[in-house]
Amino acid sequence: LAGREDHGNVVVFDASMRERYIDQAEILTSFSDSITNKDFKVYYQPVVEAASGKIIGAEALVRWIHPTRGLIGPNRFIPALETNGFITQLDYYVLQQVYTFQQSLQTGGMPFVPISVNLSRQDFYDDSFISHVLNLAQESSLPTDSINYEVTETAVALLKENCRYLLQQVRLGGAKVLLDDFGSGFSSLGMVGDYSFDVVKIDKSFIDQIDAEPTVRTVIKSTIDMCHGIGLRVIAEGVEGASQLEFLKGCGCDYIQGFYFSRPLSEGDFCAYLSKAQIGTQSDAVVLTPRD
Ligand code: C2E
Ligand code: MG
Ligand code: MG
Ligand code: MG
């Protein structure tokens, strides 16, 4: 339980209250103010190499630090923003924040950590968003794979042409494209070979079943082999346990993202994590050990 002062009353938030429904209208009326006030904060979840535990990247994940409701996770406001056309504004805001943060990491001499940003399928309907993304990349002096993009297979399936154009352009510029939540949406094996992805992220719903379901273990192993066969790297998403990690390592899974290594971290905590990871290691290696 976390206590919090609010207009003189102590308000205690617990898990069930945090799950409480937020009215769509409330989200939409406070959205613009929250953008102006910078109440949306980007958190960063490390992605590590399975074999070594070395950090190889991070995913940018937005949170809403709501003036009265506290921290709200994206699953509770992104669907409303998507339905009402605000998501693209948020995604552009997040992208700008990530550029600024990446710039400060690199200026501050931190180890190089590529950061991936989530794109909503709504973003692909917006031609000006697409040109803004390409402009940001062109104008930036950061290494070209500093900022990468995550798209879901559903977005790709529904928006073939716009999506193909943006993804081709960002890859030409040197950025990586990650296929997010693989296996959870409109999947077709053709899509994996057809489009230019660099990395496939196996959805958490599969990882959750590793311990209990032999069939799912076979599906995961086959997916990893198939991706490797066509030159793609694989990230397992939502790894929480040592037995899951061991299984994935045994399958040759390249990278791991999950609470087993770290939750998504605020900018400050992420910097602390990176600095700590440097201590006692060779200058060319950032070795991380699992945490609870
Ligand atoms: P995603 O892109 O698949 O991101 C991974 C989600 O899994 C994150 O949830 C992360 O916190 C969670 N996760 C990672 N490891 C574990 C684990 O070990 N256990 C558990 N229980 N969860 C884990 P989060 O941050 O709540 O984000 C949910 C979704 O919201 C994201 O799924 C993404 O689709 C969307 N999202 C987040 N930020 C943005 C954004 O800036 N723009 C857009 N368009 N969508 C975003
Ligand atoms: Mg993602
Ligand atoms: Mg995902
Ligand atoms: Mg997801």
Q: What is the pLDDT of residue 196?
A: 79
Distance 130 CA to ligand 2 centre (A): 18
Residue position matching structure tokens 């949306």: 40
Which ligand has the shortest distance to the CA of 61?
Answer: 1
CA distances from 65 to 10, 35, 61, 137, 175 (A): 18, 11, 13, 28, 30
Query: pTM for the complete prediction?
Result: 0.89
The C-alpha torsion from 136 through 152 and 91 to 148, rounded to 10°, is: -30
Q: Which atom of ligand 1 is nearest to the CA of 123?
A: 44
- d(CA 27, CA 23) in angstroms, rounded, equals 7
> Do 42 and 62 meet the contact criterion of CB atoms below 8 Å apart?
yes
Report helix, strand or coil for 53.
Answer: coil
Reply yes or no on whether the pLDDT at 88 is more than 90: yes
In the structure, how many helices (H) and strands (E) does the chain have?
Answer: 12, 11
Q: What is the pLDDT of residue 132?
A: 93
> Tokens for 289?
């050990």
Reply yes or no on whether the pLDDT at 280 is more than 80: no
Mean pLDDT of 224-236: 95
ipTM of the complex: 0.98
> Tokens for 36?
């102006």
The H-or-E segment that residue 163 falls in is helix 160-172
- d(CA 118, CA 164) in angstroms, rounded, equals 16
Q: How confident is the model at residue 22 (pLDDT cuts 50, 70, 90)?
A: low
> pLDDT digit string (tens) for 138-147?
999 999 999 9
Q: Cβ contacts of residue 101 below 8 Å, gap of 6+?
A: 42, 44, 115, 267
Mutation probe of ligand 1 site: the residue of 34, 45, 61, 86 with most atoms within 8 A of C-beta: 61
Residue position matching structure tokens 């979840």: 45
Distance 3 CA to ligand 3 centre (A): 31
Residue 46 phi, psi (nearest 5)? -60, 145
> Tokens for 234?
């694989």
Residues near ligand 3 ion, CB 5 Å cutoff: 180-181, 237
Count of beta carbons in the 10 Å neighbourhood of residue 49? 16
For CA atoms 185, 201, 130, 43, the dihedral sign is: positive
Q: Cβ contacts of residue 23 below 8 Å, gap of 6+?
A: none
> pLDDT digit string (tens) for 163-200?
788 888 899 999 999 999 998 877 677 777 766 799 99
142: nearest Cα among 176, 178, 104: 104
Q: Which atom of ligand 1 is nearest to the CA of 122?
A: 44
> Tokens for 83?
């339905």
Q: Which region among 17-21, 156-160, 217-221 has the lowest average model confidence (pLDDT)?
A: 17-21
- d(CA 143, CA 155) in angstroms, rounded, equals 27
Which ligand has the shortest distance to the CA of 151?
Answer: 2
If you take atom 22 of ligand 1, which residue's CA is the nearest one?
Answer: 238
- d(CA 284, CA 225) in angstroms, rounded, equals 29
